[in-house]
Structures are given as structure tokens and as C-alpha cells.
Structure 1
Amino acid sequence: MRSLKIVLLVSAFNGLTQRAWLELREAGHVPSVVLFSDEDTVCQQIENTDAALVICPFLKDRVPARLWQDPQRPVVIIHPGIVGDRGASALDWAITRQLPTWGVTALQAAEEMDSGAIWATCEFEMPAGVRKSELYNGPVADAAMTCIHDVVARFGRDFVPQPLDYRLPEVRGRLQANMKQSDRAFSWQDDAELIQRRIDAADGQPGVLAELLGESCYLYDAHLDSRCGTPGQLLAVHDDAVLVATGDRSLWIGSLRRKPRPGEETFKRPARHVLAGRLDKVPTLNWSVASHPYCKEAYQPIRYRELDGVGELTFEFYNGAMSTEQCRRLVSALRWAKAQDTEVLLFRGGRGSFSNGVHLNVIQAAAVPGLEAWANIRAINDVCRELLTARQLVVSGLTGSAGAGGVMLALAADGVFARSGVVLNPHYKSMGLYGSEYWTYSLPRAVGYERALQLSEDCLPISVAQALEIGLVQDIGPRCPQAFGNWLMAQARRVAHDPLYKAVRERRRARDVEDMERCRDEELAQMRLDMVEDRNGFAEKCRHFVFKHRTCGTPRRLVAPWVNSAEVVNG
């Protein structure tokens, strides 16, 4: 098939868009990104190119009529719903109604949103107990990529999309209203599973509005627990979460966003932080890997198990963000795990992202954000140091996508194994940061100095296939999270006895600790200038990220060379 010039028209360069950009390039096409700003600008950017096709993997804005009315350049929307489904709350309703199957549809942009002719569709079984963000980044993203590849292939064959016809029996989808808070509402008297499902269906955005200790907040990150109490009562605090009694059991709530007052912007923060000053009479439960390594508590953001000489340490932090406190807990857990009689230490993520580095929301909420950022980067460096200095052979498991410090955290291991389909962003510069997490030590040793410099300067995502090719990861496992977990443990057990890893062990013994610490010190000297002195605009970039402010244009690095446009911004 001939190479196509394709515009990706999107509201943000999110995970799905990054994956589409990568896979289209790997298929031999030349995609270029246009971030939606305003109608005139978007139209000019696209009309001034010779793009053959416009695909919208993630578009919350309406496609301008000038674009979708052009018969020479189809505009195809990737909608997270089955054929016939229309509306912006497709996934919210699918989770709330516990539908057994769902899907993604590629449809031609039309005057009525989601009503255009069908280019492709792909259905999947709905996982049980899934959050909206996990559904979107997992089965939905996989189905979306199937649709995108089908669209591109069919475009090359002069395919004619099929008009949407609700009279056909196979068209099961219907127009669904945008879900309101009244549709999401619950009572703390309700069953814990029902409440959790409501919160899961609103994960990411917008959350579910409820009251805790007299404060109206949007709730996120819910986990079932067996403890009971008076419905709505706060039963306990553990790490960053609060335990709330329900009609039958209870729920751990990990993150909250205070309901904003008129003219105010608020953002997600750890629940304990939002309710600070109101938790004095709420019991604190202080189990940890070090104090209760094999406890059976339902809610364990950091947990440990052993199997055949492999110590597996799993950390599961919401959205992959690692605050100063979370890093310190992880350091404590790693020190305990390193002291165990094991040959291999498997360091892996849980559900959702593996790690995206420092916790920008906690940083933004601090009295002095720059100082909190400085504390946070030193704390995550301490996590890396524990991995770099372990006696055991260390294996990292990239269970989800990773960005910036999260990629470098994984590289502190001797071997990195990744789940198929995840996206990596091994760079810091776009956030106004030099970077740390021993990246100047680990990255060149993994991919070579020139490649390390290219990755850090280009500020572009890479696929795990690319990562494998350049030596950033050593193998790629199954896409299914459960299957990947089993495969990952099998890999960790294998490397303990694999002669191919003998050289890795020897390099670990010969590692130059002084060289590692020199890299850390030099990185931190630069990061202090970036975080505390704000030499490259980190404070503003952090604020825009946390408050989800729309970009003023498309970063130049995302614009393909075949596009001639002034409507781009540096970065």
C-alpha cells in the first residue's frame, strides 16, 4: 500500500493519539498532528496541506463544516461506541449499565455529531470492574487502532463508507444523553459495588460529586473493603486514601477534587490532602510492606509476594504520579524487599500507567511549588538508587505507559520487560526540565550516547517495538494485563537461571557507585535551576498541565515536514 499523508486532528496529544501517530508511522505512513484551537486556524492548517485523509482519534470539538464537506479529503471520527451509538458519554453508560460487550466505530464526520457513514467498527468484551480510564487506554484503544488501520487500508481501495441505518437489526447503538451528575448520584446507604461502579464510570473526568465531612467533592480512585460502619462515616485513613462506610461494606477513596466555587478552578489531589485538618479523629491504619509484608488488606498501593526465588514488588499509584510521600513509602518497601533471600527483584506497576514521574498536582497545590518539586525529584531519585544498588538481579515490568521519570525509573533495573501496546515518553524537556532519575547514567548505557541525546531532545513518544529495537526494553509481553502479569513472573524466574544474564550480573557487581552519584549530583544541580529557580518555565507548564489548559497551537515537533504552516509553537 502506498504511503499516505494523514492529519491527526485532535483536542490533545493523548495516549491514544500518540499510539495512532506511532503505529501509522510504523506502517509506512506520514502522520502530522493538528491540535484543535479555533475553527479558522484548524481549517487553514489542514486546507493548506496535501493531506489525503484526516483522522480524529480524540476530538472533543466539532469538526468545522468546511472540512467535512470537502469530498476530496475524508474526515473520519474515532468514536468510542458501537455502530449507532451517539453522544459524549458512551463509556460512562457502558460501565454504568454493565454491558457485556462494547466497541469502537470509525465514522465520517457529518453535520450531526456521530451520525456519519461507517468506515469501520470493532467490538470487544467488557472487562469486569474496569475504570473508564483503563477501558479507554486498554480495550478501547486496541479497538480504535484496529479501526484506524482498517480506515487507512480501505481508503487506499476507494472504499465507500456505509450510511448509518437504524432499521438494520445489527445496529444496536442509539443516541445517548450526555451523562449528568444526577445520573451518577448515589447515597452512601447504597451497596459499595454500586458506588464503586458509579465512580469507575466517571474516572478521569468528571468524577462523581458527593459529600465527605461536609465538603462537596468529586470522587476518584475507589477500592472495595470489607469493613462496615455508619454509611458516609469515615472509618480510617491509610497512606493517601480515606475509608468511607457504605450500606453494606466500605470504599477506599484515593483522590478527590473539591467542588469549585464560582470563578474558581480546582484539580484532583490525594484524598488525605484535600481533607487535611478534618481527619484528626479518624483512625490511621499504618500497614506497609516492611511492617506487614504479607497482609491480606484489600487496599495495598504497594504490595509484595515471593515465588521461586523472585520477590515481586508492585506499586500502583493513581495515574502514575509519584508524590514525595509515595516515593518515601516505596523506598522503605524496596529496602525491605532487598533484604529478603531472593535472587531476582521484580519491580512492576499495577493497573493503569506504570509511572509518569513526579506528582505535578501535589506540586501545584504546595505552598511553594518549586520547593515541593525539588523534594519530589530527590525522593524519586532515592527510589532509583535502591534499584541500582540492589544485590539481586532487578527486573522492571512496564505494565502500562510511562513518561519522563517513569521511563528512567524502569531503566534503573538490569532488564526491562514491557506490555505490548504501551507508549513510552523518555524525555523531560517539553516540561521545562533537564531531567533526573539517574537518566544520564542509565539511558546512555541502554541505548548509547547519541540515541540518548536524540530521545531527550526530540521529545517524542516511542512504541515498545521501537524501544525493543534500540535496547530500551529487553522483551515485549502479552497485551492482556493478567496474561502479562503471568508472563512477567515467568520471565523473572527464567532470568535468574539464564546464562545470557550472567554478563548483566557481572556488570552490576562492577558498577561504579561514584559515577552513578556524580550523575545524580549533576542532574540535581540542573533540576534545582529548573524547579526552584524556574529558568525554563516549569512553573507555568506545570500549572497548564494540572488545570488542563488548552494549548495555543501545535508543537513544532508534532508537525510533519510535508506541512507548511505558521500555526505551530515551539516545544
Structure 2
Amino acid sequence: MKILLISTAFSGLTQRFYTELNDAGYEVSVELHLGDEAQLLEGVQLFQPNLILCPFLTKRLPATIYQHYPCLIVHPGIKGDRGPASLDWAIQQGEKEWGVTLLAAADEMDSGAIWASKTFPLRPATKSSVFNREVTQAAVECLWEALTYFDAPNFQPEPLEYSKPGIKGQLRPQMKQSERKLDWKKHKTDDILGHIHAADGCPGVLDEMFGQPFYLFNAHKETQLSGKPGEIIAMTDQAICRATVDGAIWIGHLKPKLADGKGIKLPATQALRDCWPKPQSGLQSWLSKPIKTLEIDYTQPGRQLPCQEVWYELLGEAAYLYFPFHNGAMSTAQCRRLLSVYRHLATLNVKAIVLMGGEDTWSNGIHLNHIEAADDPADESWQNINAMDDLIYQIITTLDKLTLAAISGNAGAGGAILAVAPDKVVVRDGVIFNPHYKNMGELYGSEYWTYLLPKRVGQTAATQLTEQRLPISAKKAWQLGLVDKVLDKQHSIFTAQVKHLVDTYVGNPAELQRLLTDKANTRCIDEISKPLAAYRKFELTQMYANFYTDNAYHAARQCFVYKKPLTKTPDNLAKHRLDSFVKPASPGGMVHFVWQDSYALGDEKIDREHKDFFELAEKLLSSPHKLTLLETLSELQQHVKAHFAEEESLMYRTGFHSTKSHAKEHELMLEQLLAITAKIEHDNWQAQDLQEFIGKWAQHIQHSDMAFNSHWKEMNVYCL
């Protein structure tokens, strides 16, 4: 069965649908609805789906599509609810129960026949949190219910008839800022929280501070402080506290409203950096009440302030480390703060450190908004990625304690690699992983991923994950070996299961000691084979080029930060638009041959031969005719025979510990070279064969040769 996902963006719920259907064996493709109806219709006609699902739409689906194909639309509201701001209204008006409806596309928005509907208690939480948890899970349940009906001959969807007692929803308009407006002198704390929660993510609540308009996000209730309603009465290094008529709230993030629409959401104190009033003197200084600056002692257990982003708790012989950074982004300062707390935990008399992350989002890696707002985005990018590397290095090298990641929210890019750095990785069912970087302007990525990913899933799977740039489910991650256990989908049950699992580990001293001994031995062997410093240097060499010599990353980051819409569906999502032939891998990939200075050994002859090999590989990939291919292969064979012999001789002379296995790799590669030559001679080859052949050679260069590279430098450079 062919299912096409049509969505405004390939984000949370769309990715969940994609992974659910893909895991179940459906043929799934994606077409983004970007406003070009002709382009959208073309995509549908190319794929010819049996069913179209629309998990997230902000634009109307053309009638020419739903009149010819069965189309089901996810609406985040109860039966009968209609309109583009369903969840906003429900949260702001304090509904106790809400739901999700899966309905057929129709001429009037959200008025089609109902295929499935689920309800849930509406938590007092942000719109993003409710959507990521309850809405997403209810939508998935609706999806599978509808699929059971799809081929049932007698199934009839339920028409939307408001006269029926079960239809309790209504048509609601788009919510305007005038309807979100805060009155600090009248609204109570809970009302203000409801308004800000209802606008979380997008669009935020428009308010004014120091005469400047800002959108408010990430609010938390304060239980101790109070002051004149509307005034800022306290601040931390990130958040500000504003008084209400019956208490106060913390505001974590602000986004300035600018004429060009290019305001950037940032921590409140950073967003207000140029707005603070100048210090008063004389009588005015006595009349004005100073803003308290509250210092957080991160070495103490517990969450001292509602806005606190990093804290830990001690339970038995384990430390649980929480870091619910807003939207999962981790700035340089946040990485360093988290590292500082982690190092503190490493000094405590505990047997396990459990990284809990955030409940709704585990981590998404470096903080693109912070980077975009920096005076020098390239320098800030460099500092941010190094801060992430420092954190992950500390986790990898913690040898006297069991480390465990408990992943309850989605993880992407460097955050997905952070998730697999600990010894054990457990994940909540329903979590989505995006362990890749290339969507952000062909970023190569760091965080020791070239060590951690292949170590868990193998080189082939690591290549596929990073090159295909597609999300995977928690269950798929377990099947690949990326995680160790998949636990319950309910957050409360998941947390209880994690704590029980940790108690089981630390409560068995013999088994715990065995795990720690095995970890220390493996780390020692891995370090001898290839030092962590070598992985980091190689990755950062690529990242340095991304940050300082190539504009693709900076352009992609700006599009992300300023929400610039795409012009077409990315090729890796729209499988129906792919050509039948295999295109060369894009630069920066693990299967692409591009000479890097980090490959240099320091021996002029060997380095020259390596560079020649890269040139021959590129020539091979671009050879258009059989005769040219065979000539290039012959030249390559002569070149590598001489090079392999000289390289092996150098290995023996310098006492390289993996000489025999390296020589065996050389022997196998020569056999592969002969095999691909024979296939081409007999016209029994495809473009993909050549890609795979070159890809295997690339892996040898990037891993086996780099291991010898490190050994040679140790023997001939660092020991001098």
C-alpha cells in the first residue's frame, strides 16, 4: 500500500507518522505543501498513492487532490472543533479535556466525515508540550484505527452533524494578538500562564517591556516572589521574573517584534540586553526598587527556581541529571553549565549518573538562534561545537560510574549523539531520532559521532543514517543497536521504569563491577586503536571548513532561524521524485572522496600518493564511458599496488599494531578492484555498484588509514 504524507513541514507529527508507517512496511513518501499547487499536484500524480495523510497542514488542500484520492487530515481538536487555532483556544480557555480528530478532506476546512477521534485530559502545559505528547499519541492511535477501516467494505465514516450529542466542538477563528493580550494589573498568575502557554512555539504573546514590543515564551509560575504587577522584580543569568496581581511568573525567552520580521527568540536577559534602563541617581535611586539578581547554586540537588534549566536529584546510589533546555537547543554557555554540573556529580559518592534531558525534547544540539545573534556566527559556532564535544568527552571517559541516558523526548543532530554517549541508552516508545547533520547546510557534525555511531550500529548503518537524513523510531533505533531498551510510551511509567532499571543495576555490585571493568577495558582498547583526540580532530577539521570557508551552513541556519519557507520538497523525502540512477554523494559525506588536510601523514611521498588516489577516484566517478572507466581502473590498479606495498613497509618499520589486518584490507580491496573491472568489461554493472565500490575505499581511508596516521605521528612527531 502506497501512502503519501502531505504536510506543511517535515516536523514532529509528520515524522512520527513517517516512522510508524515505514516501520510497518508501507511504501511511504512525502510531499510538502509549500503553496505551489501545481507542484503539489505533480508530486501526487508521480506517486499515485492509495491514501494521502495530512498530519500538519496550514494551507488548504486543493480539491483536485481530495476529489481523486482518499485524503485524511489530522485536526488537533475534539469532534466538531474547526479552525486553525484549536489548541490555542483550548489551552487559553482552560478546557479540561481535548482531543484529536482524523477526518476526510472537504470543501470547508475541518468539516469532512470523521474516520477516528480520540480524547485526553488536557494538562496545564505549553502548547508545544501538549502537541508533542497527547496530540501526537492520539493522532497515531487515530491513524491505526483508520487504517483498519481503509479496506473494510462496510465502513462508513461519521458525517459531521452538530445535532448529534457527541459533537461538542465548534468553529473557532484564528486567535488574534488582541485576544491573547495580557493585563498585568488585572490578570492573575494562572491566567497569564494560560495565555503564554497557548501561544508557545508560535506566535508567542505580544507584550511590551521598557517601551519595546516583545513576544513572550517559556513561562513558569513563581511561588515566593511578589511585587508591583507588570514590573520585573528579579532575574537570573537567563530569565526574568515579572510580578502579577497575586504572585509572579518567570519568563525564559523573548523575541523582539521588528519591522522587518527578523526578530530572534533568545533568553530573556539576552533579548533585553540593550533595553535595561540606566542606573538612577539621587532621590530617584531611592524611589526605584532594584531588580534582584538571583544566583543558582547548581551544586545543590533540586530545582531551586522554576526557570532553572539544569538540576539534579539524588535517589539511592544514583544521580539523575535534568536539562530541559527550551526546544532542546544548547548554547555554548548551557553546554558548559551542564558539563560543570556533570563534573560535580562525577565527584559524588554515587554509582550511576542518569542523564534525563528534558521530557518533551531530549536535545537538538548546538543553539542556532544564539549563533545567529552572535557578533561573529562562525566563532560562536566553533565555540558551541567545542563545548558540546567537551561534554560528550567527559561522559565517554567516565570510567568509575555507570552512565545511562533516559530519553523521553525527541533527539536530533548533536543531541542524538549526546544520547548515545553513555554506557546504556533507554528510550520512551514514540521518541524520534534524527542522528544526522547534513540538512543544516551539509554540516559534517562532531560530538565524536564518527566514534559513537559506528561503535553502536556498525559502519554501514552509520553511513546510511547520516547520509539518508531520515528520522527513525525508538523501535528502529533498538533494532539497529542504537539504543539498549525501549520502555513504555507514557511519560510517568517511563520515568518509573528508568528508576527501577537503575536500582537494578546499582543493586547488583558484582554485575555493576563487571560492567565498569568491561567499559574500562573497551575504552583502553579503543584508545589504543584510535584516540578520541583523532576522532575529534578529524570531525572539527570538517566543521571548521563548514563554519569558516563555506556559506551553505550559514545560509541554511538563517533560513531555519527566520523560518524561511522551502521552495521544494527535499529529495530525500520525496522518493517519488528521485531519478532511477544513483547520484554521486554530496560533499561532506562519508562516501565522498574529497582530500582533507587532516589526511596528511607528514611523509611527502605517501601524502602525494594519497592525493593521487583521491583524484583517480573522482575521475572514476565522473567517467562517462566504458572505455574511460576501464582505463581509469587500470591506472588505479597500478597506482594502489605500489602504494600499498610502500605503506605496508612503513607500517612494519614503525611497529604499527594493526599491520596484518590493514594488509588484509589492502588484499581485499585489490580483489574488489578486479571484480568491478570484470563487471564493467562484461557490461554487468550499474552506477550503484561503482558508488558502493568507491564508498568502501572511502571507509578504509577515513578509518584504517587514519588509525595509522595517528600512530605514525605519535612515533615520529609527538615523541620527539
**Is TM (by shorter chain) over 0.5?**
yes
Between 375-384 and 144-153, the greater mean CA deviation after superposition: 144-153
Between 280-289 and 245-254, the greater mean CA deviation after superposition: 280-289
Find the counterpart in structure 1 of residue 59 from structure 2. Answer: 61
Find the counterpart in structure 2 of residue 116 from structure 1. Answer: 112
2:567 to 532, 547, 552: 552
User: CA contact under 8 A between 1:49 and 1:564: conserved in structure 2?
Assistant: no
Q: Does the alignment pair 1:523 with 2:518?
A: no
Q: 1:295 to 1:14 in 2, by over 3 A?
A: closer
Find the counterpart in structure 2 of residue 467 from structure 1. Answer: 477
Name the SS for the 1:107 alignment partner: strand
1:467 Cα deviation from its structure 2 partner = 0.8
1:168 to 158, 164, 168: 164
1:149 to 144, 159, 162: 144
Name the SS for the 1:88 alignment partner: coil
2:82 to 71, 79, 86: 86
Q: Distance in 2 between matches of 1:502 and 1:553?
A: 54
Task: Please identify which structure carries the higher strand content.
Answer: 1
User: CA contact under 8 A between 2:4 and 2:47: conserved in structure 1?
Assistant: no
User: CA contact under 8 A between 1:402 and 1:425: conserved in structure 2?
Assistant: yes
User: CA contact under 8 A between 1:212 and 1:232: conserved in structure 2?
Assistant: no
Q: Distance in 2 between matches of 1:324 and 1:257?
A: 20
Equivalences for 1:395-474 in 2 at 5 Å? 395-431=404-440, 432-474=442-484
Equivalences for 1:470-489 in 2 at 5 Å? 470-489=480-499
Find the counterpart in structure 2 of residue 36 from structure 1. Answer: 33
Name the SS for the 1:491 alignment partner: helix
Structure 1: which amino acid aligns with 2:138? A
Q: Does the alignment pair 1:539 with 2:554?
A: yes
* TM-score calculated relative to the size of structure 2: 0.75
Find the counterpart in structure 1 of residue 70 from structure 2. Answer: 74
Question: What does the per-residue CA deviation read over 1:77-106, in whole Å, with 9 as the maximum and x for residues that have no partner?
Answer: 111111111001110111112212111111
Which structure is larger by alpha-carbon Rg, 1 or 2?
2
Q: Does the alignment pair 1:257 with 2:252?
A: no
Find the counterpart in structure 1 of residue 385 from structure 2. Answer: 377
Equivalences for 1:33-432 in 2 at 5 Å? 33-37=30-34, 38-70=36-68, 73-127=69-123, 129-158=124-153, 159-189=155-185, 190-226=187-223, 227-261=225-259, 263-279=260-276, 282-290=291-299, 292-294=300-302, 296-390=304-398, 391-431=400-440, 432=442
1:492 Cα deviation from its structure 2 partner = 1.7
Q: Distance in 1 between matches of 2:29 and 2:439?
A: 18
Q: Distance in 2 between matches of 1:191 and 1:93?
A: 18
User: CA contact under 8 A between 2:328 and 2:358: conserved in structure 1?
Assistant: no
Q: 1:100 to 1:30 in 2, by over 3 A?
A: same
User: CA contact under 8 A between 2:133 and 2:360: conserved in structure 1?
Assistant: no
Structure 1: which amino acid aligns with 2:53? I
Q: Distance in 2 between matches of 1:271 and 1:548?
A: 20
User: CA contact under 8 A between 1:6 and 1:53: conserved in structure 2?
Assistant: yes
Q: Distance in 2 between matches of 1:168 and 1:293?
A: 53
Q: Distance in 2 between matches of 1:297 and 1:271?
A: 15
Name the SS for the 2:311 alignment partner: strand
Q: Distance in 2 between matches of 1:563 and 1:321?
A: 32
Q: Distance in 1 between matches of 2:548 and 2:342?
A: 29
Structure 2: which amino acid aligns with 1:49? F
1:323 Cα deviation from its structure 2 partner = 0.5
Structure 1: which amino acid aligns with 2:534? R
Structure 1: which amino acid aligns with 2:362? F
Name the SS for the 2:120 alignment partner: strand
Which residues of structure 2 form unaligned runs of 5+?
Answer: 279-289, 587-720
Which residues of structure 1 form unaligned runs of 5+?
Answer: none
User: CA contact under 8 A between 1:403 and 1:424: conserved in structure 2?
Assistant: yes
Structure 2: which amino acid aligns with 1:516? L
Structure 2: which amino acid aligns with 1:403? G
Q: Distance in 1 between matches of 2:455 and 2:305?
A: 39
Find the counterpart in structure 2 of residue 26 from structure 1. Answer: 23
Name the SS for the 1:319 alignment partner: helix
Find the counterpart in structure 2 of residue 508 from structure 1. Answer: 519
Question: What does the per-residue CA deviation read over 1:254-291, in whole Å, with 9 as the maximum and x for residues that have no partner?
Answer: 11111122x3322311111110134476332221322x
* TM-score calculated relative to the size of structure 1: 0.94
Q: Distance in 1 between matches of 2:532 and 2:560?
A: 31
Structure 1: which amino acid aligns with 2:425? V
1:532 Cα deviation from its structure 2 partner = 2.2
User: CA contact under 8 A between 1:85 and 1:173: conserved in structure 2?
Assistant: yes
State the identity %. Answer: 39
User: CA contact under 8 A between 2:8 and 2:33: conserved in structure 1?
Assistant: yes
Q: 1:185 to 1:326 in 2, by over 3 A?
A: same
CA RMSD of aligned residues (A): 2.0
User: CA contact under 8 A between 1:348 and 1:398: conserved in structure 2?
Assistant: yes
Name the SS for the 2:21 alignment partner: helix
Structure 2: which amino acid aligns with 1:399? S
Q: Distance in 1 between matches of 2:567 and 2:256?
A: 27
Name the SS for the 2:179 alignment partner: helix
Between 403-412 and 500-509, the greater mean CA deviation after superposition: 500-509
1:562 Cα deviation from its structure 2 partner = 8.7
Between 103-112 and 295-304, the greater mean CA deviation after superposition: 295-304
Find the counterpart in structure 1 of residue 666 from structure 2. Answer: none
1:294 Cα deviation from its structure 2 partner = 4.3
Structure 2: which amino acid aligns with 1:548? K
Structure 2: which amino acid aligns with 1:485? T
Q: Distance in 2 between matches of 1:203 and 1:312?
A: 27
Q: Distance in 1 between matches of 2:267 and 2:221?
A: 17
User: CA contact under 8 A between 2:426 and 2:485: conserved in structure 1?
Assistant: yes
User: CA contact under 8 A between 1:209 and 1:216: conserved in structure 2?
Assistant: yes
